[in-house]
């Protein structure tokens, strides 16, 4: 088992060494274990996708420590993605990148390291896998369809909204699914146009977007903003409104939460490692979520209104049996 250097040192090392990676492969650990690098562009304390992924990282250390030599980097600046990925690929046999925001750089790096296995979690659902690059899709849209249903049922004002981080395809699809889930439960409900703040980890921008939505009449918001969720919590608290949390469920005693989307990104990190270990890894689009036998997605209801719980079950059933499409 291993821990990584701070990302600033890794990026500096990549620059100093001039890592190109062309034709090279990751280095196997001296003791024959599988060397794995988990690339986390955000913070492992973001109460979002990065923290969820990090939980999976810790489970791997605990359960597979005798088979895996694993490290991670976090809080990587966008400008450093490519060089940090190159450095990681030069040192590992398996590289797992969390977040669709890394896709363009990952697709440049993967061909440079043909003997390294890559997995991207949360990338475009229509992206074409490469020979050594698989895509794991948490199907955020399915979860947001359910969140839309729950939010519509919980709303007293009849108006709800969605705040997203970076306007990536997966986030745009999730916003549309949120609207569709709301309409499925409450035809005619008013769903404000989604707001994208341009950053998953900026509480100030997320708070500003949430405050605008609450001022526009919404009383329940859903979100995919990771650390930015702190700002939405503040806006909800200050205005007496609600938020749908996640992907890590929190405490329902917090009055700002009507419920939580539960998305276990860590399970996808574990799946990637186990697939390489047992030889079942494929260069494919691999779905997780409500309609997958791999699970990883649910919705936790905080509201005591039975109509909300009923809405969630109706939405989950409709997604599972295929009678509706999320978007």
* Residue 113 backbone dihedrals phi, psi, to 5 degrees: -130, 70
Q: Render each residue's pLDDT in the chain as its tens digit; 327 residues.
A: 554 444 444 444 433 333 333 333 455 556 789 999 999 999 999 999 999 999 999 999 999 999 999 999 999 999 999 999 999 999 999 999 999 999 999 999 999 999 999 999 999 989 999 999 999 999 999 999 999 999 999 999 999 999 999 999 999 999 999 999 999 999 999 999 999 999 999 999 999 999 999 999 999 999 999 999 999 999 999 999 999 999 998 889 999 999 999 999 999 999 999 999 999 999 999 999 888 988 888 999 999 999 999 999 999 999 999 999 999
Give residue for tokens 């250390």: 61
Nearest to 21 by CA among 103, 102, 106, 98: 106
pLDDT of residue 27: 55
Cis peptide before 247 (omega within 30 of 0): yes
**325 contact partners, CB below 8 Å, separation of at least 6:** 180
134-174 pLDDT tens trace: 999 999 999 999 999 999 999 999 999 999 999 999 999 99
What tokens does 322 get? 């295929």
pLDDT of residue 288: 93
Nearest to 13 by CA among 105, 88, 72: 88
Rounded CA-CA distance 288/273 in Å is: 15
Nearest to 94 by CA among 120, 75, 74: 120
* Alpha helix stretches (DSSP H) within the chain: 7-17, 49-64, 81-91, 103-109, 140-154, 169-185, 203-215, 229-239, 265-278, 306-321
What tokens does 273 get? 């490692």
pLDDT of residue 289: 87
264-295 pLDDT tens trace: 999 999 999 999 999 999 999 999 988 898 88
Buried b (16+ CB within 10 A) or exposed e, 81-113: bbbbbbbbbbbbbbbbbbbbbbbebbbebbebb
pLDDT of residue 14: 39
Rounded CA-CA distance 48/78 in Å is: 18
pTM of this structure: 0.86
pLDDT of residue 4: 47
pLDDT of residue 30: 61
Rounded CA-CA distance 192/211 in Å is: 13
């Amino acid at each position: 088992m291993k821990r990584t250097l701070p990302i600033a040192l890794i990026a500096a090392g990549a620059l100093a060494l001039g890592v190109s990676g062309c034709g090279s492969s990751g280095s196997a650990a001296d003791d024959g274990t599988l060397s794995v690098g988990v690339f986390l562009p955000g913070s492992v304390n973001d109460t979002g996708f990065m923290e969820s992924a990090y939980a999976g990282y810790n489970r791997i250390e605990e359960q597979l420590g005798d088979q895996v030599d694993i490290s991670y980097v976090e809080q990587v600046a966008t400008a450093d993605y490519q060089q940090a990925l190159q450095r990681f690929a030069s040192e590992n046999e398996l590289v797992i990148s969390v977040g669709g925001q890394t896709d363009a750089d990952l697709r440049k790096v993967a061909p440079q390291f043909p003997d390294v296995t890559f997995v991207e979690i949360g990338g475009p659902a229509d992206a074409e896998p490469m020979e050594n690059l698989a895509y794991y899709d948490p199907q955020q849209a399915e979860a947001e369809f359910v969140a839309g249903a729950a939010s519509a049922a919980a709303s007293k004002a009849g108006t709800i909204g969605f705040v997203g981080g970076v306007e990536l395809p997966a986030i745009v699809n999730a916003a549309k699914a949120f609207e569709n889930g709301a309409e499925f439960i409450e035809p005619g409900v008013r769903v404000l146009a989604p707001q994208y703040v341009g950053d998953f980890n900026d509480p100030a921008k997320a708070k500003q977007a949430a405050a605008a939505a609450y001022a526009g009449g919404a009383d329940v918001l859903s979100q995919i903003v990771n650390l930015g969720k702190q700002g939405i919590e503040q806006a909800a608290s200050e205005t007496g409104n609600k938020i749908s949390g996640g992907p890590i469920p929190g405490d329902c005693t917090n009055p700002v939460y009507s419920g939580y989307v539960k998305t276990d990104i860590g399970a996808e990190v574990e799946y990637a490692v186990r697939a390489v270990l047992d030889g079942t890894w494929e260069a494919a689009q691999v779905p997780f979520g409500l309609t997958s036998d791999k699970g990883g997605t649910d919705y936790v209801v905080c509201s005591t209104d039975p109509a909300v719980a009923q809405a969630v079950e109706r939405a989950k059933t409709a997604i599972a049996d295929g009678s509706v499409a999320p978007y």
